[in-house]
Amino acid sequence: MNKIAIIKESRIDDKRTPLAPRHINALLTRFPNLSITVQPSKHRCFLDQEYKDCGAIISEDLRTSDLILGVKEIEPNLLIPSKSYMFFSHTTKIQPNNSAAAQGTPGMDKKELIKEIIKRKITLIDYENIRDDLSRRYLGFGRFAGIVGCYNSLNLYLETDGQSPMPRAYELNSYKKLKENITKRNFANARIVITGDGRVARGSLEFIESANIKQVTPEEFIENNNTSAVFCNLPTSKYVSNKKGDDFDLQHFINCPEKYISVLDKYLYTTTVLITSHYWDPKSPRLFKKNDIAKYAKLKVIGDITCDINGSIPTTLRSTTIKNPYFYLDPITFEEVEKNNDSLAIMAIDNLPSELPRDSSAEFGDGIVNEVLPFMIEKDDGRILNATITHNGQFLSKYQYLSDYINS
């Protein structure tokens, strides 16, 4: 493999890129026989000239490339026959709404995307499935999803609390500036719950430390009615419980999520801001039922970073956008309403890292340079093969189940 390309993203609201200009220079230094083409884009967070200055070829024509890199799903009509692609396809987690409105690019039919990949004899490698022996992902934008999602959720709280909101994350366009802004604000009596213990949750927890909000244990959160702002983190073991009453076992939960129930309810009675940063499997329990919302009288904001439509959080009726980040629900009728004193505010942006595209792309590209491309250019240790969904338009055995799905 000697020729790599970066495609222009299909979504004009997504300014991210798989490689930053500095990664071009690093790759060309390490692999002198490599050439890298960048498709020109007016929306990408880095300028075409920045890539050119680092040694990239700027060209619309990607037909001679051996591997084409993107971030989100690529429009089916743009796929070049018999080429290898690497991007987040959002196809391997089959969900009831996976056809058109699943996580990923809104409106893109995942069945049709897979069908076109088969038809055009594409080799598809999915970033999400490039994992180590313990099934931990090498690549992801999760940290920045957590950071931006936490910022947006706290900003929404300020708005519902009658305070003037902070500038939007995309307007600041800098993680450093986000932290500078959050330290200046007062979160009064906010009681915040952050779910999860993975990369997204760590991003949320990393950021909320900048807000000068005291962390308490889950037990303290339930027992104490604090007079100042507090937050607690609920790892998986704290918000689900084995149906039989057995001690929590993470591996058992991963293997048998249907054998668990949610116990989040006991925390939500005094929660004002819920920030969901957990991973959710469709077989896992939903964290609460929509009829429960009316019981949580103090709950004013849900920042659903997971953004699984009809997933673990029933209030996520739809995803929101960077330009229109919030919507409001009547907690009794569960209908979308205009903002009012009794409404529940929802943040469910499906591409949160795009609000800090330069920071998040730089971190993501580090992973590609260090943990992916060397194993494609030199010798694969199995991580690339395991993430290959199709080869020349044929499903690999691990993903053969998708054949039945697209024909259903």
Q: What is the number of domains present in the chain? A: 2
Q: Are residues 323 and 247 in the same domain?
A: yes
Evaluate if residue 317 carries a pLDDT over 70. yes
Q: Are residues 286 and 149 in the same domain?
A: yes
94 pLDDT band, cuts 50/70/90, is low
Q: Are residues 240 and 308 in the same domain?
A: yes
> For 353-375, what is the mean pLDDT?
97
Helix 357-371 and helix 142-160: axis angle, to 10°? 160
- At 275 the three-state DSSP class reads strand
- In angstroms, the CA 75 to CA 86 distance is 13
Q: What integer pLDDT is reported at residue 135 of this predicted model?
A: 84
- In angstroms, the CA 233 to CA 236 distance is 10
Q: What integer pLDDT is reported at residue 101 of this predicted model?
A: 37
Q: Are residues 277 and 363 in the same domain?
A: no
Q: Are residues 49 and 146 in the same domain?
A: no
Q: Are residues 51 and 76 in the same domain?
A: yes
Evaluate if residue 408 carries a pLDDT over 80. no
Q: Report the mean per-residue pLDDT for the chain.
A: 93
Strand order in the sheet with 394-395: 57-58, 35-38, 3-6, 67-69, 84-87, 123-126, 388-391, 394-395
Task: Tell me what percent of the residues of the chain surpass a pLDDT of 70.
Answer: 96
Evaluate if residue 281 carries a pLDDT over 60. yes
Q: Are residues 102 and 188 in the same domain?
A: no
247 pLDDT band, cuts 50/70/90, is very high
Q: Are residues 300 and 397 in the same domain?
A: no
Domain containing residue 198: 142-355
Q: What integer pLDDT is reported at residue 15 of this predicted model?
A: 94
Nearest of 244, 282, 284, 239 to residue 262 by alpha carbon:
239
Evaluate if residue 156 carries a pLDDT over 50. yes
Q: Are residues 8 and 19 in the same domain?
A: yes
> For 253-269, what is the mean pLDDT?
94
Q: Are residues 321 and 290 in the same domain?
A: yes
Q: Kindly report, residue by residue over 109-148, the tens digit of the pLDDT.
A: 888 999 999 999 999 999 999 999 888 899 999 999 999 9
- 25: exposed, middle or buried (Cβ count in 10 Å: 0-12, 13-18, 19+): middle
Last residue of a domain, one of 355, 373, 393: 355
Look-up of token digits 């690497």? 86
Q: Are residues 52 and 113 in the same domain?
A: yes
- In angstroms, the CA 39 to CA 59 distance is 5
Look-up of token digits 């057995």? 246
Strand order in the sheet with 214-215: 214-215, 230-234, 191-195, 273-276, 301-304, 344-347, 326-329, 336-337
Last residue of a domain, one of 355, 370, 391: 355
Evaluate if residue 370 carries a pLDDT over 50. yes
Instruction: Cite the DSSP H helix spans in 45-141.
Output: 48-53, 110-119
Q: Are residues 83 and 214 in the same domain?
A: no
DSSP codes, 167-232: PPHHHH--HHHHHHHHTT---TT-EEEEE-SSHHHHHHHHHHGGGT-EE--HHHHHH---SS-EEE
Evaluate if residue 276 carries a pLDDT over 60. yes
- In angstroms, the CA 306 to CA 309 distance is 9
Q: What integer pLDDT is reported at residue 224 of this predicted model?
A: 80
Contact between 307 and 278 (Cβ < 8 Å):
no
Nearest of 226, 229, 235 to residue 209 by alpha carbon:
229
Task: Name residues whose C-beta falls within 8 Å of residue 340's C-beta, 6 or more positions apart in sequence.
Answer: 328
Last residue of a domain, one of 313, 330, 355: 355
**Cβ-based neighbour number of residue 81 at 10 Å:** 11
Evaluate if residue 171 carries a pLDDT over 50. yes
Write the CATH number for 13.
3.40.50.720
